[in-house]
Structure 1
Amino acid sequence: MIRVLVCDDHLIVRQGLRQVLADAEDLVVAAEADNGPEAVRRVRQPPPAEPIDVVLLDIAMPGRDGLDTLRQLKAEFPKLPVLMLSTYPDRQYAVRSLKLGASGYLNKSADSAQLIDAVRRVAQGKLFITPSVAEHLAEQLAVPAGAAGPEPPLHERLSHREYQVFRLLAAGKTVGEIAEQLALSSNTVSTYRARILEKTGVRNDVELALYAVRQGVQEA
């Protein structure tokens, strides 16, 4: 039996995932969490608590988001398979997730059979990569090391936290709103904003939003 921990801040999503996994005789939802720290605490629990075989982890959560949680889980439990779930387009977070150690990345719009197959695959120690994600990976690996090739987009230079702030700024969020959403101080967000402007070569939030649209990171 594959024991799954479902981490998502929306109860209705957790209930839906539980219902989907219940259709598979070899899968069981052993625990749920509505935030990253709670998911980490549950994985840490010693016997007699049931060990977790696979973590289903949402990316978009308030405070510590899924990528921060993934980073911590892989640092403490490097062999634990983590399957990332998201509503974001694959190009935004799939490759970042895999680079941080995720065993797979699946959009929440995936059908039940694909989700069950993904959980089984990562539980076996394999990667689960959809054709769309494979295409994005291939684009990054297309140029041999040391060979001349097109420069990656400027926003690829951003750290994980800078990328979070970048997307929120591009969506029109204020520094205060971002600070509240990410559980950071306004001064810290302002520092990230300054770094983002410098790395992307834009002068203000309007130009940043236009840049995000051009790069396909944000819809117009």
Structure 2
Amino acid sequence: MTRVLIVDDHAIFREGMKKIISTAPDLEVVAEASDGAQAVSTILNEPFDVVVLDLSLPQMSGLDVLRIVKEKRPALPIIILSIHPEEEYALKVLKEGACGYLNKECVPDELIRCIRKAVRGERYVSEALKEQVVDKLLGRSVEKPHDLLSDKEYQVFRLIVQGIPTKEIAYRLSIARPTVSTYRARILRKMGMSTNVELARYAAKHDLEI
């Protein structure tokens, strides 16, 4: 029996996922978490075969949970389930180690297929995302400014947008304060902006998970 952990801050949605997953005889939801900190603690202290993780969580974002867990338990399959469209986050979370990305509007069978593929060590990619990847490889897609950022630059970008001071960013990311300033300059240059306020407006406009 495949042991599944569900992480979502909405109890009604967790109940819905449990009902969907319970229709599969080989899958069982054995635990739930409602925020990022609880998710990390649960994952690191209990055995699971796969995690279904929301991006928008209290206390700690799903993206941060993904990074922490992948550092501690790199072999654990994690599926991201989110309200955000694939074009905004799918490629980024796959690069961070997720094995699949599903929109919350997906059909029940798709969720079950994704979980089963994840447990087999495979990645689940929707047809729409496959087309996006092909377009990117062939140079047919137009990248959004934030897609140009490296992983570390994106981490700094997220903290800047949250209004975190330079000193605190340096502490959280274990880098020097001048390095934070260097990253900030790169971010502004790549995104064609000049102030933190512009970065914050951009994040809000594109509904980025910060």
Whether TM exceeds 0.5 here: the answer is: yes
Distance 1:160 1:4, change over 3 A: farther
Aligned match of 1:75: 71
Query: TM-score, structure 1 length as denominator?
Result: 0.73
CA distance in 2, matches of 1:113, 1:23: 10
Counterpart of 1:56 (choices 34, 41, 52) is: 52
Q: Structure 2 regions of 5+ residues with no counterpart?
A: 170-179
One-letter code aligned to 1:39: A
Is 1:201 aligned to residue 197 of structure 2?
Answer: no
Is 1:138 aligned to residue 134 of structure 2?
Answer: yes
Q: Please state whether the residue corresponding to 1:3 is helix, strand or coil.
A: strand
Q: Structure 1 regions of 5+ residues with no counterpart?
A: 144-148, 170-177
CA distance in 2, matches of 1:10, 1:187: 34
Shift of 1:111: 1.1
Is 1:84 aligned to residue 75 of structure 2?
Answer: no
1:18-62 deviation per Cα after TM superposition (whole angstroms, max 9, x unaligned)? 1111111111111111122222221222xxx5x200000001113
Number of aligned residue pairs: 192
CA distance in 1, matches of 2:10, 2:166: 26
1:92-112 deviation per Cα after TM superposition (whole angstroms, max 9, x unaligned)? 100001001110000000011
Q: Structure 1 vs Structure 2: percent identity of aligned residues?
A: 33
1:144-198 deviation per Cα after TM superposition (whole angstroms, max 9, x unaligned)? xxxxx988443223333345468xx6xxxxxxxx45xxxx559758x89965544
Aligned match of 1:160: 154
CA distance in 2, matches of 1:194, 1:15: 41
Tell me if structure 2 keeps the 8 A contact 1:95–1:136: no
Tell me if structure 1 keeps the 8 A contact 2:146–2:154: no
One-letter code aligned to 2:28: V
Is 1:102 aligned to residue 98 of structure 2?
Answer: yes
How large is the Cα RMSD of the aligned pairs? Answer: 3.1
Query: TM-score, structure 2 length as denominator?
Result: 0.77
Is 1:120 aligned to residue 111 of structure 2?
Answer: no
CA distance in 2, matches of 1:6, 1:42: 11
Tell me if structure 1 keeps the 8 A contact 2:50–2:76: yes
